[in-house]
Amino acid sequence: MYRFCKHNIIERVKIRIEDKDINVSLIAISIVANSILAFFKLIFGFYLESFWLILHAVYFVFLGFARYKTMKNYIYIKNIEDSVKKYEIEFAIHNRSGGFIFLIGAAYLALCIRMYLVGDVVLIGGGLVYCFVTFAVFKNAFAIYGLFVTRRKETPVIRVMKVIGIVDASLSIVPVLYTSMSYFGIIHSAEVPAIVGIIISICVMSSGIIMSNRPKERYLNNYMSASGNKE
- Within 13 Å, how many C-alpha atoms sit on residue 213's CB side? 7
Report the distance separating Cα 18 and Cα 97, nearest Å.
Answer: 28
Domain count, the chain: 1
- Res 102: pLDDT: 94
Domain that holds residue 22: 2-227
- Res 231: pLDDT: 43
Report the distance separating Cα 160 and Cα 173, nearest Å.
Answer: 21
Stated pTM of the model:
0.76
Closest CA to 16 of 6, 7, 28, 4: 28
- Res 19: pLDDT: 52
Report the distance separating Cα 220 and Cα 124, nearest Å.
Answer: 49
For 19-57, give one letter per residue: b (16+ CB within 10 A) or e: eebebbbbbbebbbbbbebbeebbebbeeeebebbbbbb
Dihedral of CA 74/62/172/163: which sign? positive
Q: At what angle do helices 51-78 and 156-171 cross, to 10 degrees?
A: 160
- Res 58: pLDDT: 84
Report the distance separating Cα 74 and Cα 70, nearest Å.
Answer: 6
* CA terminus-to-terminus distance, the chain: 45
Each residue's pLDDT tens digit in the chain (231 positions)?
545 554 555 555 555 444 556 677 777 777 787 788 788 878 877 877 777 778 878 888 888 888 888 888 888 888 888 877 888 888 888 888 899 899 989 989 988 898 888 876 666 666 777 777 777 777 777 777 777 777 677 778 888 888 888 888 888 888 888 878 877 777 888 889 899 999 999 999 999 999 888 776 666 665 665 555 444
Report the distance separating Cα 90 and Cα 84, nearest Å.
Answer: 10
- Res 230: pLDDT: 44
Report the distance separating Cα 115 and Cα 157, nearest Å.
Answer: 33
Helices then strands (H, E): number in the chain? 10, 0
